[in-house]
Structure 1
C-alpha cells in the first residue's frame, strides 16, 4: 500500500479503538474502569488477528485480549455469527486469567459480510464466589465461570445467560452496567469502522490489516536483529500473602537469524495452593510487554509485533496454571514476570532496563453493608510502590511497572462506598539509593464508615523481600500491612470489626549504580 494512504487509514483505526476506550470509560459503572482505566479495547480483522489497540489500558488485558479473540471464534466460528451477535467469556484459560476480567467480542458486519471484530476486556467489581483475594482452594470456589456464549443473539439479549449472571453476583446492577458499557463501545467501534470503509471505498479491511500486521512484524524482527545473539539468564524472588516465597527464572534466547526471542521459565516455582497462579496468556502478555519496552515501544502493538516473542514454561510451574488451580489473584505473580526478563537483558541493554520495582499493585477488596443495610463490594486499585531506577533517571514514586492502571482518587472511592481515608502520602527515602534512586512507596490508611462488621481481601507483596538494586544500587524498603497498628499477612479473607483501621505502606523500588558517599 502507498505509505501516505496507509498512515492516514492507520490513524483512523487508532481513532476508532481510542473512541471505543473513551466510550467504555465514560459509561462504565465501576470506578476501576471509569477512573483507573483497568481495561483494554482492540480492533481485529476477519481472522481475529489484533490490528490496533487503544493507548488506554494495561498489558495484562491488552495482550491477553489479542489471544482471547482467536479463542472465542474457535468455539463459536464466524459461520455461526449474524449481525447483532455479541460474544462473552471470562474463562481464565481463554481470556485474561481470572473470572473478574470479562471479555466481550462484537462481530462487525458490512452488509451481510463479516469484516472484523471489536473487543474489550475490563475488570468487573464482583463475580460472586470468594472475591478478588487469594484464599480460594480451587477455581470453582472463585466465582461464576462464563463459558464462551452469545451475550446477545441477533441484537436480542440471551435472557437465560443474563438471569444466571444476575443471580450469581452480589452487585448485579453494577455488573450489567459495565457489560452494557462494553457492548456499547463495541457497537460504536463497528459503526466507526464501517464509516471508515465508506470514506475510502473499502469492502473489507483485509488488505489494510495484512499491511499493518506484516509491517509491524518485520519492524519488530529488525529491532531484534540489532541485539547480540545468545541466551541470557535472569532471576527474581519475592514474597506473597501468607509469606510464601516465589522465584521466577528466565532464559532469554535471542535468535538474530530468525528475528525471534524465546523466553523460557524453566526452574521457576511450582504451582501455589493460593489463588496466585498465572495462566499462560497472562504470562505471555507481561513477557511480551517487557520485551516491547526495551525494543522500540513506538511500534504498534498487534498480532504482528507480538508474533516474534514466544514463551515456554513447564507444566508444573506457577506461571503455567493448570485446571483446577485457583487464579483469582494471578496479578500478584504475573506483574513480577518482567523483572527476571529485564535482569537477563541488563548486560546487553544497560541503558534501557530498570532495576526491580515494588512489583504487583496491592489490591484491596472491601465487602459489607452500609449503615442503611445496603450491600457494597469494591476493589480499590491501584496501591503502588515505587518503580526501579532507570539508567539515567530516578524511579517513579507510587507508580507500578508493568501495569498501566492509574490510582482511583480517594474522593471517588469515598463517594461510591462507605470508606474514609485517614492517610495518603509518599514515604520519602523508601526507594533504594544509587547513582539513580528507586522510586518511593506510599502510606495509605483507611477505615469503614459503617456500624457493623465487614470483610477485607488484601493482597500485599514484598513484605519480607525487598526490590533489588542493579549494578551496585541499594534495595528498596520493604512494605508493611497493618491492622490497628499490628502487622498482618494473610492470604485469606479477614473479618473486620466496624472500627478497625488499616494501614498500608507499599515498597520502594531498587536503585541503579553504586551510590555516592554521603
Structure 2
C-alpha cells in the first residue's frame, strides 16, 4: 500500500525532499567527476533529475545548465511514455533526438527505469554534452540536420544489463573519438544505476511502495507556490524585443509578449513576430526555447522554489512553428545555443515593466563556442571538445554585472591548462576587456580577450560561432550598451558561419562583448 502523503508530517516531508535532492545532486557531481569530456568534467555542461512513474520531473540536481535541466524534463517525459511497460531491470534508454530532448545531437540523454521488485517506481535521467557525435561538428555550417552528426532515436542502450551490441557498433563507427564518447556514456549509465539503488533504499526506510504519493505532494506544493508568486504581479501583457547579429552577419529578432493572468496564477510567453528559421545551424527547437523561457521567468519570480514539473506547469511558452525558436525538421540545429541563450533577453525586458528590481540588462548572450580538429605533428588526429568563452553579464538594479560570466547558461570555461594538455594548442593571452561593460548607475560586466595558436605543422579546422559583433548588449532603464565583440584571425575581422580551414601559425583572437548597464549614469 502507498501511504497517503497528503497528511504527512512536515518534518518527514522535508527529510524525504532533502534525501531526493541529495541523491540526484550527489549522482550529478559523481557523473561530472568521472566524465571524459572536459566540457562536462570542467565546465559542468550537464543535467540530472529524478522522475516519477508517469515521467514527471520531481527533483533536479543542484548543478547543471538551465537549457539541459528543463529540456531533460521533456526528454524524460517522452522516453517514459514511449517505454512504459516495455522495460526490464538493467535496461537503459538513450536518445539525442533534437526535437525530443535538448536540441542538438551532441546532447545525449539516458534514462534508467528504477525497479522495486517487479514494478517500475520511477526513472532517473541525465543529459550531457558529448565530445563528438560525428558529422559537421559544433559549428553552424551544416545545411540540414542530417549533415550534423549521428541521430540516435529512442532506443535501449542496455537490455537487461547487457550492452545493445548493434547500437554500440553504430555509435562507435560514426564518431571520431569513440573512447571518449563511450567513457561519457559509461559515466551516465553508472550514475543511473547507483541512483536507482539509493531510491529503493529510501522507499524501504520510509515504508513506501513507490514515490507516486510523494511526487504528487511535492509537485502540488511546487505548483501552488509558483502560482502564488504570479498572483502578486500586476496583470497585463508586456512586450520585449532583442536584436543581435550571428555568424555571417544575419540579424536575428526575438519578440516576447509576456501575459500575466494574476487571478489564475498563470503566465504565457509568446514569441510571435520573431525571426523565422534560417539555413544555418543556429535554429532552436521548442524544448530548448521553453527551457530558457521558464528559467528567466522563475528566476524573477522566486529562484528558491524547487524546479520540477509542478513549478514549470504555470508557465506556458508559445512560438510560431517554423520560427527560429520553434524550428521544423530538417533545420540544422547544432549551434542552437547561439540563438537559444538569447531567449531570456526579451522576456527580461518585458518583466522590467512589472518587477524592475528583479531583472538584469542584456548580457553577451550566447557563449562563444570553439571546436578544433586537426592532426598533431606526429600525424595523430585530435578533435577538441567544445570549449566556451563568455562575455560580460548585464548589470542588475543594485549590483554591477559580473565580468566574463555567461547568463543564462552558467557553464564555466574549461581551464586553458586542461586544453593545452589535451591538444596542441597554445594560449597567448586570456584577460578581461577592461571598460567593455556598459556604463550606468550599475555598470555591465566586462568581456574578455582570448588569443591562441596551434602548435602543429599541419593544417587544422576551426569551428567558431561568435555573436554580437555589430552592436553590443543593450542597457536597461537608461543604462548604456556594452561593447560589441570581435573575432580576428591574423588581425583581420571574420564573421562566417562555416568551418574555417587554418594554417600552422595562424593566430586567433576572441574579444567577447561586455554586458549592458542598468539605470542612468549619475
Q: Tell me the CA shift for residue 381 of structure 1.
A: 2.6
Contact 2:37 2:385 in 1 (8 A): no
Contact 1:483 1:503 in 2 (8 A): yes
Look up the match of 1:48: 55
Moved over 2 A (4+): 73-76, 379-382
Partners of 2:353 and 2:263 in 1: how far apart? 21
Q: Tell me the CA shift for residue 142 of structure 1.
A: 0.4
Partners of 2:251 and 2:385 in 1: how far apart? 25
User: Deviations for 1:437-483, whole angstroms, at most 9, x for unmatched residues?
Assistant: 00000000111121101100000000002100111111000100000
Residue 86 (1) aligns with residue 92 (2): yes
User: Deviations for 1:288-325, whole angstroms, at most 9, x for unmatched residues?
Assistant: 00001100000000000000011111113110010000
Contact 2:440 2:518 in 1 (8 A): yes
Partners of 1:73 and 1:12 in 2: how far apart? 23
User: How big is the alpha-carbon RMSD for the aligned residues of Structure 1 and Structure 2?
Assistant: 0.8
Correspondences of 1:104-503 after superposition (within 5 Å): 104-503=110-509
Partners of 1:350 and 1:381 in 2: how far apart? 34
Residue 15 (1) aligns with residue 22 (2): yes
Contact 2:438 2:514 in 1 (8 A): yes
Partners of 1:407 and 1:187 in 2: how far apart? 29
Partners of 1:215 and 1:356 in 2: how far apart? 33
Contact 1:363 1:379 in 2 (8 A): no
Contact 1:40 1:61 in 2 (8 A): yes
Secondary structure of the residue aligned to 1:311 is: strand
Secondary structure of the residue aligned to 1:382 is: strand
Contact 1:197 1:204 in 2 (8 A): yes
Q: Tell me the CA shift for residue 149 of structure 1.
A: 0.2
Partners of 1:257 and 1:514 in 2: how far apart? 35
Consecutive unaligned residues in structure 2, runs of 5 or more = 1-7
Q: Tell me the CA shift for residue 418 of structure 1.
A: 1.4
Secondary structure of the residue aligned to 1:79 is: coil
Contact 1:361 1:381 in 2 (8 A): no
Moved more, 34-43 or 200-209: 200-209
TM-score of the aligned structures, taking structure 1 as reference length: 0.99
Partners of 2:483 and 2:321 in 1: how far apart? 34
User: Deviations for 1:67-117, whole angstroms, at most 9, x for unmatched residues?
Assistant: 0011113332x2111000000000000000000000000000011110001
Partners of 1:374 and 1:34 in 2: how far apart? 24
Residue 4 (1) aligns with residue 11 (2): yes
Secondary structure of the residue aligned to 2:193 is: helix
Consecutive unaligned residues in structure 1, runs of 5 or more = none
User: Deviations for 1:259-297, whole angstroms, at most 9, x for unmatched residues?
Assistant: 110000000001111000000000000000000110000
Partners of 1:418 and 1:259 in 2: how far apart? 54
Contact 2:488 2:509 in 1 (8 A): yes
Partners of 1:63 and 1:103 in 2: how far apart? 12
Contact 1:332 1:459 in 2 (8 A): yes
TM-score of the aligned structures, taking structure 2 as reference length: 0.98
64, 69, 83: which one pairs with 1:62? 69
Q: Tell me the CA shift for residue 19 of structure 1.
A: 1.3
Partners of 1:343 and 1:12 in 2: how far apart? 38
User: Deviations for 1:143-165, whole angstroms, at most 9, x for unmatched residues?
Assistant: 00000000000000000000000
Contact 1:84 1:155 in 2 (8 A): yes
Contact 1:239 1:461 in 2 (8 A): yes
Contact 1:439 1:510 in 2 (8 A): yes
Q: Tell me the CA shift for residue 242 of structure 1.
A: 0.4
Q: Tell me the CA shift for residue 201 of structure 1.
A: 1.9
Partners of 1:423 and 1:453 in 2: how far apart? 22
Look up the match of 2:5: none
Secondary structure of the residue aligned to 2:267 is: strand
Partners of 2:237 and 2:74 in 1: how far apart? 27
Moved more, 375-384 or 117-126: 375-384
User: Deviations for 1:376-419, whole angstroms, at most 9, x for unmatched residues?
Assistant: 11134320000110000000100000002111111111111111
Partners of 1:376 and 1:227 in 2: how far apart? 53
Partners of 1:35 and 1:464 in 2: how far apart? 31
Look up the match of 1:98: 104
Partners of 1:259 and 1:347 in 2: how far apart? 18
User: Deviations for 1:242-261, whole angstroms, at most 9, x for unmatched residues?
Assistant: 00000000110001111110
Q: Tell me the CA shift for residue 128 of structure 1.
A: 0.4
Moved more, 236-245 or 197-206: 197-206
Secondary structure of the residue aligned to 1:80 is: coil
Residue 515 (1) aligns with residue 521 (2): yes
